[in-house]
Amino acid sequence: MGAGTSPADPVPAGRAADEPGEPDGQDGPGVPDEPATDGTADKTADEVTDKTADGAAKATDKAATAGRPRRSRRFPRFTRDTARPEGGGRAASGDAPATARQWPLLTVLCAAGLGLLIVALDPFDQAFRIGTILIGGALITGAVLRWVVPSVGMLAVRSRFTDLVTYGLMGTLIVLLALVAQPEPWLDVPILEDAVRFTIR
């Protein structure tokens, strides 16, 4: 012990030096070290909060979609609607009347209806032939309109190519049949006559 001190003297409260034999940074036995303040605890708390928020969001999404049926990638057995075909828009502006917006379809229908009327009434000689040619010409006109006019309204049924082939082929066949119809055909096709004779024989 040093001079001037006794075992009964109290230890000064805030002594500057540590006791001999104690490592630096320790205040003595029974005194805990201060916790580290490098931000690790704050980061851990933030991560836990983020995970909790993500879990709550996923649970909300599952609850929202629980009542709805799951969509299937299979094609439906019955189609309820179809996309508008290529060129199926209005043939005129939306402000125009319906007859102007659908003039390509009305043109084809009026020509075909006139041909049917001529065939039914038979007002003159060779009326059936002229009426049938008019029906075929209406279909050919529809094919031409489908090719030339960008938007033909309800005249567009499928793609442009499909409509061209359908209208054009049907119209051409109807006109050819009207031209070669008996009696007194307007068009003589030797190959067709030979095929008919071979079939009848």
Mean pLDDT per segment of 10 residues, for the chain of length 201 residues? 50 49 50 52 58 63 58 63 75 83 94 96 91 96 94 90 94 93 80 72 61
Residue 38 token pair: 């490098």
- Residues 6+ positions from 122 with CB-CB distance below 8 Å: 128
Q: How far apart, in whole angstroms, are the C-alpha atoms of residue 164 and residue 147? A: 7
Dihedral angle over CA of 168, 171, 173, 177, nearest 10: -160
Residue 157 token pair: 């049924």
User: Residue 184: helix, strand or coil by DSSP?
Assistant: coil
- pLDDT value of residue 104: 93
Task: With beta carbons less than 8 A apart as the criterion, state whether 119 and 168 touch.
Answer: no
- pLDDT value of residue 17: 46
Residue showing tokens 């929202």 = 64
- pLDDT value of residue 187: 81
Task: With beta carbons less than 8 A apart as the criterion, state whether 180 and 192 touch.
Answer: yes
Helix and strand element counts for the chain (H, E) = 6, 0
Q: Where are the domains of the chain?
A: 98-200
- pLDDT value of residue 65: 56
What is the chain's alpha carbon radius of gyration, rounded to the nearest angstrom? 48
Task: With beta carbons less than 8 A apart as the criterion, state whether 126 and 133 touch.
Answer: no
- pLDDT value of residue 52: 66
- pLDDT value of residue 89: 82
